[in-house]
Structure 1
Amino acid sequence: MPFVRIDTLRAGPKRLAALGRAVQDALGETMGIPPDDRFQVLVDHDGTSGVLRYGDYLGVHRDEGIVYVAITLRSGRTPAQKQALYRRVAELAHTYAGTEPRNVFVVLTENGSADWSLGEGAAQYLESPRSPA
């Protein structure tokens, strides 16, 4: 049950939607996330009231095509799975949205089962299933 936030700079709605699809598909391929387990916030900044800052840190040249992808998910994935995810997100972002892989910045934040409520004020990952009435 990942929660994904994608921030872009003047990408437009079609490119932003394609990036959301790229991340979802990559999560499915590399971590087995089901297609309907999609919780995303997609934000396109206009460069005036909302901007994105970036640099050439660690020798990666970024430009205005920058895409920030923040994924929060329950812990338990291996470093190899995470590396496969980063690679696949960059590949699919290029294929689906024309984003240069050098402009795909991904960060994962892991947490535990108690850190999620999927609605109705419940901690679904902690609570036992309700018995039928």
Structure 2
Amino acid sequence: MPLVRIDALGADTQRLAALGRAVHEALIEVIGIPPDDHFQILTAHDGATGALRHGDYLGIPRDEGIAYIAITLRAGRTPDRKRALYRRIAELARVHAGTEPRNVFVTLTENEPIDWSLGEGEAQYAPGEA
């Protein structure tokens, strides 16, 4: 169950939705999550009351089209699977949201089954003793 947070500068609701769609489709295709496993936090920043900072680190010229995508998910994917996920997110962000791949910044944070409660105050992935 990934939890996705997308922060984009100057994004309207359509661009945010398109970025969310791109990430969700990539997670389904590359990681194999179920289609209804769809948990996202989508936030636009206007540059005045909320800002996103970016630079040209590693020679990648980012600009005002920057989208930060943070994905928290259970551990266990290989480095090649993660690389494929990054590529697919960048491809689909261009297709669905018109976001240049150079502006797609993705980070993965992995954790263990016990680190999730999906409601009801329970650890559904790591049930305890009765």
Same fold (TM over 0.5): yes
Q: Superposition RMSD on alpha carbons, in Å?
A: 1.1
Structure 1: tracts of 5 or more residues without a match? none
Partner of 1:68: 68
Flag as ranges the 4+ runs of structure 1 deviating above 2 A.
none
Shift of residue 79 of structure 1?
A: 0.3
CA-to-partner distance for each residue in 1:36-94, whole Å, 9 max, x for gaps?
A: 00000000011111000000000100000000000000000000100000000000000
- Give the letter aligned to residue 120 of structure 1: E
Deviation, structure 1 residue 24: 0.2
Aligned match of 2:4: 4
**Where do 5+ consecutive residues of structure 2 fail to align?**
none
Query: Partners of 2:73 and 2:30 in 1: how far apart?
Result: 14
- SS for the counterpart of 2:50 is coil
1:106 paired residue number: 106
Count of aligned positions: 129
Counterpart CA distance in 1 for 2:82 and 2:18 is 21
- Alpha-carbon distance in 2 for matches of 1:55, 1:12: 22
Q: 1:125 offset after TM fit, Å?
A: 0.5
2:86 is paired with a residue whose SS is: helix
Q: 1:17-96 to 2 correspondence within 5 Å? A: 17-96=17-96
